Amino acid sequence: MNRFERLLRYLNIDSDPHLIEDLYAQSEMTRSYTTLLLLANFIALFGLITDSIAVIIGAMLISPLMGPIISFGFAYITSEKRLMKQSLQTLGKSLVYVIASAALLSYLSPLNDLTGQILARTRPNLYDLFIAVFSGLVVAVSFLSKKINSVSTLTGVAIATSIIPPLSVVGFGIGTGNWQISVGSFLLFFTNFTAIVATTALSGIIFGFTYFNNLKDFAYIKRKLITIILIIAAVSLPLSYTLKQSIQMLKIRRVINQAVSEIQNATVFSLTYDMDDKRNLNISLALASGKPIAKQEVMLLKSAIENRLGIKSTLTVTQVALKDDIVNNKPAIVQKTAPLAPVETVSSTAVSFRAKTDEMVAGLSDLLSPYPVQSYEISMTSSKKTLLTLYVKKDSPCTQQETDMLANYIRSEYKFNSDVAVVAEPIFTPLIYRPQTTEPEGGFPDFSIIKSVSAKTGKALLTVTCYPESSLKYRDRMRVSADRFGMLKKHLEEKYGIPPESINMVTSRNAVKEPKLEIALK
Nearest to 492 by CA among 458, 455, 446, 457: 446
The predicted pLDDT at position 134 comes to 81
Is the Cβ–Cβ distance between 198 and 4 less than 8 Å?
no
Residue 112: partners with Cβ closer than 8 Å, 6 or more residues away: 49, 106, 172, 175, 176
- Tens digits of per-residue pLDDT, 197-238? 888 877 777 665 445 555 556 677 778 778 888 888 888 888
**Where are the strands (E) in 12-83, listed by range?**
none
Query: Which of the 8 DSSP states describes residue 369?
Result: T
The predicted pLDDT at position 327 comes to 34
Residue 456: partners with Cβ closer than 8 Å, 6 or more residues away: 369, 370
Low-confidence ranges of the chain (pLDDT < 50): 11, 147-149, 151-152, 209-210, 323-350
**Rounded-to-integer distance, Cα 281 and Cα 64, Å:** 43
The predicted pLDDT at position 5 comes to 54
Q: All domains of the chain, ordered by start, with CATH?
A: 11-233 (1.20.1080), 262-338 (3.30.300), 349-425 (3.30.300), 431-521 (3.30.1330.60)
Angle between helices 53-62 and 31-49 (to 10 degrees): 170
Looking at the DSSP bridge assignments, the partners of residue 505 are 464
Q: What angle do CA 293, 327, 272 make, to 5 degrees?
A: 45
Is the Cβ–Cβ distance between 83 and 68 less than 8 Å?
no
Nearest to 371 by CA among 445, 408, 423: 423
Phi, psi of 434 (to 5 degrees): -80, 155
**Rounded-to-integer distance, Cα 301 and Cα 447, Å:** 44
Q: State the SS3 of 169-211.
A: HHHHHHHHCCHHHHHHHHHHHHHHHHHHHHHHHHHHHHHCCCC
Pairing of strands 419-425, 266-275: unpaired
Is the Cβ–Cβ distance between 320 and 377 less than 8 Å?
no
Helix (H, G, I), strand (E, B) or coil at 279: coil
Nearest to 79 by CA among 217, 175, 173: 217
Burial readout 495-513 (b: 16 or more C-beta within 10 A, e: otherwise) = eeebeeebbebebeeeeee
Nearest to 487 by CA among 395, 495, 461: 495
Is the Cβ–Cβ distance between 355 and 345 less than 8 Å?
no
Q: What angle do CA 389, 390, 395 make, to 5 degrees?
A: 125
End-to-end CA distance of the chain: 110
**Rounded-to-integer distance, Cα 517 and Cα 465, Å:** 6
Pairing of strands 516-521, 333-335: unpaired
Between the CA atoms of 287, 291, 297 and 301, what dihedral angle is there, to the nearest 10 degrees? Answer: -20
Residue 429: partners with Cβ closer than 8 Å, 6 or more residues away: 445
